[in-house]
Structure 1
Amino acid sequence: MEVFARLESEVRGYCRGWPAVFTTARGSHITDENGKTYLDFFAGAGTLNYGHNNPALKRRLLEYLSADAIVHSLDMYTAAKRRFLERFEEIVLKPRGLDYKVQFPGPAGNHAVEAALKLARKYTGRETVVSFTNAFHGMTLGALAVTGNSMKRTGAGVPLGHGVAMPYDNYLDGRTPDFLLFETMLADSGSGLDKPAAVIVETVQGEGGINVARPEWLRGLQDLCRRHDILLIVDDVQMGCGRTGPFFSFEEAGITPDIVCLSKSLSAYGLPMAVTLLRRELDVWEPGEHNGTFRGFNPAMVTATGALEDYWTDAELEKQTLAKGRLVERALNEIALEHAGAVDSVRGRGLVWGLVMRSPELAPKVCAEAFERGLLMETSGPEGEVVKLLPPLTTTEAELTAGLEILADSVRAVRTAVAA
């Protein structure tokens, strides 16, 4: 590994917790150059909802590339883009009664967020965007301005303006009515809160610690935005594409955001791809006003279309995800009960779950122990206090059970070591 330490920037992160050189991957497993195979409960931070090298999607991709089809196209018209747009409308938008236009802003989630913020400001003529405590929306300047984590914000190196944070659901432990502060500041001309262009929210805060917003809280937020003529942006970069069960994470709440940000598992294969969905009347862009070199990566559109056709023409994947989520929840609750002195709570939806440790230093130790036992997981939360489970949606129940047993053994081992 000397070459990485010598040549790669110190900014590298995940590799420090997983000191292995990985070579191959398939489904929910990833193998290093020494032949050791790990169960993957990380899934590319939510980019691999359909597993590593999904064989059906790989077949489509190889066929496309072998035909010398278009790979790079900026925003030119291509057959692959047309197919994706048609199938996205037929399979995702129309059945849900959504009339969004699709913008290809660039290849990553932060590009989808930046486009959403920029469009909201252009459309409303206002500058302020309201976000929430413990939010994470990306590492570029606009996205950082609506991100809560102080370490990430400090890394910007410049003041981050035009963003105001409000309490996320249950941030104050139910001690005040929902949106009391927000509503009061909006009504008070002396509060210092300029009328916002938009509110941006994650229905489940992944990086923030697996904080799950209640459906009624999300409905209340939509109602507030509509009463005050504020656009509602849902950042579904990590929680979209089936992670919580339905294709969009906001479906359970019955809300209709004005703008939706999608990326990560949208391409379904780990290929860079992002879209910003916007209500038709919000499309006030001038040609070329927001662009990017890699917003036309056609191989990603091919695999994205394949995933829609293979997994989303019926409700089977959603049902399986919710059932597997119940299995994970039961297992985590058993761990929490066994280690009540060390585990504070269990949080999650669908197939995103967090085991919240009472002492922040325990979570990275549990993940490190799990790695040694053949399981990849990361931590999340403001102090890294949450052991985060984000397995591919295609992970089998047997694989989930095996991974959860490793997790249980890892918690026991860490507690024994700490007690010693």
Structure 2
Amino acid sequence: MTATRPGPDIFETLESEVRSYCRGWPAVFDRAQGSRMYDEDGHTYLDFFAGAGSLNYGHNNPLLKRALIDYIERDGVTHGLDMSTTAKRTFLESFRNTVLRPRGLPYKVMFPGPTGTNAVEAALKLARKVKGRESVVSFTNAFHGMSLGSLAVTGNAFKRAGAGIPLVHGTPMPFDGYLDGRSPDFLWFERLLDDSGSGLDRPAAVIVETVQGEGGVNVARGEWLRGLEDLCRRHDMLLIVDDVQMGCGRTGGFFSFEEAGIVPDVVTVSKSISGYGLPFALTLFRPELDIWEPGEHNGTFRGNNPAFVTGAAALDAYWADGQAMEKQTLALGDRVEEALRAIRSEHFEDTEDPRGRGLIWGLEFHARDRATRTARRAFELGLLIETSGPESEVVKILPPLTITREELDEGLGILARAARETA
């Protein structure tokens, strides 16, 4: 019997209208390796998307794949909830020895559900439990996930509208640069905190991304982040850094906040922590905040043992030797910035200065549909690249950290051509 391959129309007839990425990339992908994906018709695509930051070490990384295959072949535990397993122990030991101890970070490790929004929900719940308050402050153009608590601290109006109910107990404040330097940092925020008549309930916590990926690649200055940490300390608020997309080396250091020299009270990590694209998330927090009762926050898939295996392998392969990965990422990031500035000079009237750190960069177009048109043309030329920002006005560059210089230059060349052909 010969199997008949289903046509692409099954995605349109059977799958929900909620699907999104497949609309911009109308191909049926079949294989992936390293920095490239291949569709079933044999076309090759350079990947400047990397699973929305879930594939920092590339597709089917051979080191991680070998560890996963060996684990499965020996009948290692696949599903264990929060039971103690050898795979979990190995991951915790690797995380402590390669990430926490070298950075002097005291965090306890919590395994919530397997996604970034699960980690954020756990962080918000813990902050409210510790402080006995409901309000959480977030920032303009923030994105923290699609579940209700995370949406309440997300800025995007389209995503918030999908909740279908009022999103409460969250208060937005201006992100770094939002007011174009026209007022001192945190002037409005601190005035509200000091004024008993302001109507601002005393917040339990502040949640922030050091680089807003979905919000348009908006980069917070180290000075601003240090000021925010100081503000939180003086006003008895917990500082939560959402490192779901910017952690695991995306901006250079393993955590995106390292460069600023701050130590958040709570950190959320997901996406590339498994190393292999497997669902996995962590909520990290200071030991004194660990006031959970057993089972007070749980989830059926919080014990993803295959992700423990690939996560430990990634830490040992790429982070055990100190700063090699960070140096490589920053060097490649310099090349991206150079290329984006060249595109900016060619299209000066319709672009802003490129924004980014490490291997997360964005180029904003004044014509709000041009980023989408550029990304579409890039796809036709063999490059997967997405847009971000409140109006999808920013082309967002998010390649694997393991991409070669030659592959990076190839993709940047395609992007430059796409921008030129959509001018």
Q: State the TM-score bracket (shorter-chain normalisation).
A: over 0.9
Alignment of 1:84-123 (within 5 A): 84-123=91-130
| Equivalent residue, structure 1, for 2:351 | 343
- Partners of 1:183 and 1:160 lie apart in 2 by 23
Indicate yes or no: 2:218 matched with 1:189.
no
* Cα displacement (A) at 1:397: 0.5
Aligned-partner residue type, residue 371 of structure 1: F
Alignment of 1:100-249 (within 5 A): 100-249=107-256
Report the number of matched residues: 415
| Equivalent residue, structure 1, for 2:367 | 359
* Cα displacement (A) at 1:390: 0.1
* Cα displacement (A) at 1:265: 0.3
Aligned-partner residue type, residue 85 of structure 1: L
Deviations, residues 144-197 of structure 1 (Å, cap 9, x unaligned)? 000000000010000000000000000000000000010000001111101100
Indicate yes or no: 2:23 matched with 1:16.
yes
Runs of 4+ in structure 1 off by over 6 angstroms are none
Over the residues paired in the alignment, what is the CA RMSD in angstroms?
0.4
- Which runs of no fewer than 5 residues in structure 1 stay unpaired? 416-420
| Equivalent residue, structure 2, for 1:26 | 33
| Equivalent residue, structure 1, for 2:10 | 3
- Partners of 1:365 and 1:224 lie apart in 2 by 42
* Cα displacement (A) at 1:336: 0.2
Indicate yes or no: 2:299 matched with 1:299.
no
- Partners of 2:359 and 2:368 lie apart in 1 by 23
SS of the aligned residue for 1:344 comes to coil
| Equivalent residue, structure 2, for 1:259 | 266
SS of the aligned residue for 2:373 comes to helix
Indicate yes or no: 2:372 matched with 1:369.
no
- Partners of 2:122 and 2:350 lie apart in 1 by 42
- Partners of 2:226 and 2:100 lie apart in 1 by 20
* Cα displacement (A) at 1:345: 2.1
Aligned-partner residue type, residue 338 of structure 1: E
State the TM-score, normalized to the length of structure 1: 0.99
SS of the aligned residue for 2:310 comes to helix
SS of the aligned residue for 2:284 comes to strand
Indicate yes or no: 2:407 matched with 1:408.
no
Deviations, residues 280-315 of structure 1 (Å, cap 9, x unaligned)? 000000000000000001000000000100000121
Aligned-partner residue type, residue 192 of structure 2: M
* Cα displacement (A) at 1:402: 0.3
SS of the aligned residue for 2:330 comes to helix
- Which runs of no fewer than 5 residues in structure 2 stay unpaired? 1-7
Contact 1:379 1:386 in 2 (8 A): yes
Aligned-partner residue type, residue 233 of structure 2: R
- Partners of 2:86 and 2:413 lie apart in 1 by 46
| Equivalent residue, structure 1, for 2:397 | 389
Indicate yes or no: 2:323 matched with 1:315.
yes
State the TM-score, normalized to the length of structure 2: 0.98
Indicate yes or no: 2:56 matched with 1:49.
yes
- Partners of 1:219 and 1:343 lie apart in 2 by 30
| Equivalent residue, structure 1, for 2:337 | 329
Aligned-partner residue type, residue 404 of structure 1: L
Aligned-partner residue type, residue 46 of structure 1: G
| Equivalent residue, structure 2, for 1:72 | 79
| Equivalent residue, structure 2, for 1:418 | none
SS of the aligned residue for 1:110 comes to helix
- Partners of 2:383 and 2:349 lie apart in 1 by 24
SS of the aligned residue for 1:341 comes to helix
| Equivalent residue, structure 1, for 2:4 | none
Deviations, residues 52-79 of structure 1 (Å, cap 9, x unaligned)? 0000100000000000010000000000
SS of the aligned residue for 2:349 comes to coil
SS of the aligned residue for 2:353 comes to strand
Contact 1:345 1:357 in 2 (8 A): no
* Cα displacement (A) at 1:344: 1.9
| Equivalent of residue 288 in structure 2, options 281, 288, 291 | 281
* Cα displacement (A) at 1:341: 1.5
